[in-house]
Amino acid sequence: MTPITPLVRKYLDDERAEVASVRVETMDHAAGTPSSGGLRRVSGTTTCGRPWSFVVKSIHSARHWPHIDSLPEPFRTEFIGEFPWRTEADVYTARLRMPAGLRLPRLFLVEDLGDDRLDLWLEDVRPAPGGWDLTRYAGAARALGRLAGLRPAGGPHTDTALRIYVTKRIMNHAVPALLEPAVWRHPLVASHADPLLQMDLDALARRIPALLAAAASLPHTMAHGDASPQNLMVPADAPDEFVAIDWGWQDPVPIGFDLGQLLVGLAHLGATEPGELPVIHRTIQEAYTRGLADEGVASDHVAAGYVTTLVLRSAFTAIPVERLGDPVTDGLQDLFRKRVGLARFIADLGLAL
């Protein structure tokens, strides 16, 4: 069992603190990657009445992923060996230099549980009220541009992680699913998709090898890797900054890469109207460019890197075909309306490349 008292003393910067009470509660957490385990809050008070609180995130090897048996055996072994499950722990322990407006949560302990499992004891960031308006999107994009500007990556680039993801997730699964005629006849899709969307996505799928080659030719940087709004927390005590959690892959990526997840993160939840996407798109691209300029980095290739990787990662997964078998509710109808609109928007961007 983890000794709580030393962590509480570190948290409070008080070597005399004694723990009086401990509460453990499970937190809602969408397991976004195969390495994500549970999330819980461990909190309490000291004998002097001072409150303390940690968020404990569990991460593990992909072999502990509940859905690992759904993968074919040859692919399963390869996937387990290649999946970078320790990324988040490595980012937090590396003490990376962060740009203005962006920081990591404070890390108190990396607890090795054995069997390729870790618990990360992290700062419990209390979020500021309010949703994501254009001002918040612009602030996040500018901070991500500064992050990219601080961490340029020399070449040449093979985009190994991106190619693995596109080959195994997109080309082997997402694209074949979209080729099924039943998808486009289903009322959840047919009632919202325009007649050309299937054809346009098919045309983009045929361009995947060329898009990968184009991405590899662009300037590269290090990045967050999964910079959705859900992973850029706005702390209540510092509402002008962002606390970056749930870091994604840490291989060099094309410049502008982080903008894709910033655009689609809330859209995947059905929290963004399709009509809002164009102005969010313009806002974050312009703000990211300003962030690069803050670090003295040229921004000539931002649009190409942003849109190319957005298409590769998100065009073919925008429509949630995995939910076509769910009971049809008003909420599901609305989600498909918005997600089909997202697919249409990304397809239009891709066709203009």
Q: From 260, 269, 253, select the one nearest 303 (Cα to Cα).
A: 260
* Contact (CB, 8 A) for 92 and 107: yes
pTM for the model stands at 0.94
Residue 321 phi/psi, 5-degree rounding, is -60, -25
pLDDT tens track for 236-276: 999 999 999 999 888 899 999 999 999 999 999 999 999 99
Q: SS3 of 197, please?
A: helix
**What local confidence, expressed as pLDDT, does residue 154 receive?**
82
The residue behind tokens 């008080």 is 14
Q: Which residues of the chain have pLDDT under 50?
A: none
Name the 3-class secondary structure at 220: strand
What is the pLDDT, as a whole number, of residue 76?
83
CB-based contacts of 108, cutoff 8 Å, min separation 6: 7, 10, 11, 54, 121, 122, 123
Per-residue model confidence (pLDDT) at position 32: 67
pLDDT of residue 344: 98
Contact (CB, 8 A) for 353 and 210: no
**Looking at residue 33, what is its pLDDT?**
80
Beta bridge partners of 40: 26, 56
Map out the domains of the chain with their CATH numbers: 4-123 (3.30.200), 134-351 (3.90.1200.10)
Return the half-sphere exposure (C-beta side, CA atoms, 13 A cut-off) of residue 241: 16
Cα distances from 171 to residues 164, 174, 206, 262, 313, in angstroms, run 10, 6, 10, 23, 11
Residues facing residue 57 across a β-bridge? 39, 120
Residue 346 pLDDT: 98
CB distance 253 to 224 below 8 Å:
no
The pLDDT value given to residue 78: 83
Comparing C-alpha atoms, which of 252, 244, 257 is closest to residue 221?
A: 252
Specify the pLDDT at position 69: 84
Q: Are 103 and 134 in contact (CB under 8 A)?
A: no
DSSP 109-174: EEEE-SSSEEEEEEE-PPBPSS---HHHHHHHHHHHHHHHHHSEE-S----HHHHHHIIIIIIIII
pLDDT at position 159: 83
At 147 the pLDDT is 97
